[in-house]
Amino acid sequence: MKIAMFGLGYVGFTAMCCLASEGHKLIGIDVNPDKVEGILAGRSPIKEPGVGEMLAKALADGLIDAVTNISGALDDCDMAIVCVGTPSAPDGGHDMRYIIDVTRQIAGELKPGREKPLTVVFRSTIRPGTLDELIYPIFAARHGASTDSLVELVYNPEFLREATAVQDYFHPPKIVIGTRDGKPSANMEALNANIDAPVFQVGFRESEITKFVDNTWHAVKVAFANEIGRVCMELGIRASQVHQIFVSDTKLNISPYYTRPGGAFGGSCLPKDVRALQRIAADCGAGTHLVDSLLRSNDAHKHALFRKVTAGLPAGARVLLAGLAFKAETDDLRESPNVDLARMLLQAGYDLTIFDPAVEAAQLVGANLGYVYARIPRLEALLVDQAAAEAGDFDRIIVTNATARLLNIAADRVIDISRLD
């Protein structure tokens, strides 16, 4: 198939490379000219294991192109996949401006007389009702009675974890496909033909709420574990032993994942989707009190960890933070709790140095760039390489994620907050 990919961030770019590796022809569309220029030159706009090699091969095989202007790009496409951002709006819901803008562009490019409808697949996280109440009406306002003959709308949430996104693309925990009538889409069946995973063919709303349910559950598990971890920390109880007992009960306690007391939750999905589900619940009067408490609990945990790592440490002490991104091997800094920790350390007057080999200040773009510089304006001056991190005379070393495994450092100065012992 020939596929247009709207939005070349972490989800869109990874999906584009994976689809090209299967022989599909991709045209990527992004408003950032530097990102498009870099992709055409063979430079990945993100740090994600495997995508750089996939991009190089796809370019050599003539399977990937990238543009900033949609004009004419859809004429011979079978499918368009929308992966633009839906960041948090001031009221906690999703900011839908990018979804609306791209939908209008696609509707404007559809020409009467297509042999088959264009399958337009939305992968961005959107609240239930968006396909029916926002997206379809945009197409209908433009094309009227011809809408259903020109476009087939699909919602297909993604389940990619950063640093394992390529593996997750080809081996997802499930595939959820939402259509207007809940019936299969031929193009989606062809797209997923080589992927072995449970498939759920549902209506729009069931598919739209899936990501909120999943991400909010993950947030619940992390917050619960950390609340227990804080109690253990304050009472001198070994949280690691309590955790071992808890996860041994796989019959009633579900699974060990996301339940180990450790760092705060963060990243580009959990915080914004919890906020959005809070907004949805408030709108319908559901009264989700645990969900409403999650972000406050997470903030409390950030402050508890700050107190833990600075206990007995005088202002001005030399501190190494090993791991700035919310997860090792990625440079995604959006809502990383480690960025918040770095900001608190700086505000408290500590002499901070940061080691994270996946984060290169000069290569940060878009929301990633804006988020971190609003909180750490001197980021370039704080980042050091592995040699400098190992050679530095630090009073304390704070480990936040698996990044520290690269370092040869003495354990007596290390506090690992990726897990609470």
- Of 17, 77, 232, 269, the active-site residue reads 269
Which residue is associated with the tokens 């760092």? 263
Q: What are phi and psi of 49, to 5 degrees?
A: -50, 125
Among the listed residues 11, 87, 19, the one whose alpha carbon sits nearest the alpha carbon of residue 48: 11
Contact (Cβ atoms closer than 8 angstroms) between residue 82 and residue 5: no
**Pairing of β 25-29 and β 318-322:** unpaired
Contact (Cβ atoms closer than 8 angstroms) between residue 275 and residue 295: yes
The strand pairing partners of 383, in sequence order, are: 354
Contact (Cβ atoms closer than 8 angstroms) between residue 46 and residue 38: no
The rounded distance, in Å, linking the Cα atoms of 12 and 104 is 19
Burial class (CB in 10 A: 0-12, 13-18, 19+), 387: exposed
The rounded distance, in Å, linking the Cα atoms of 385 and 358 is 10
- Joined together, the tokens standing for residue 384 give 């050091």
- Joined together, the tokens standing for residue 368 give 């990633």
Instruction: Give the single-character DSSP code of 265.
Output: P
CA 325 to centroid of chain Cα atoms:
12
Which residue is associated with the tokens 């949609």? 70
Among the listed residues 26, 125, 22, 134, the one whose alpha carbon sits nearest the alpha carbon of residue 83: 125
Q: Treating both helix axes as pointing N-terminal to C-terminal, what angle do 136-143 and 97-109 enclose, rounded to 10 degrees?
A: 30
CA distances from 320 to 74, 351, 386, 401 (A): 50, 9, 12, 13
- Joined together, the tokens standing for residue 262 give 């450790």
Instruction: Please say if 269 is a catalytic residue.
Output: yes
Contact (Cβ atoms closer than 8 angstroms) between residue 198 and residue 175: yes
The rounded distance, in Å, linking the Cα atoms of 266 and 9 is 18
**Which strands form 64-67's sheet, in the order they lie side by side?**
64-67, 25-29, 2-6, 79-82, 118-122, 151-155, 175-179, 199-203
- Residue positions annotated with a catalytic role: 269
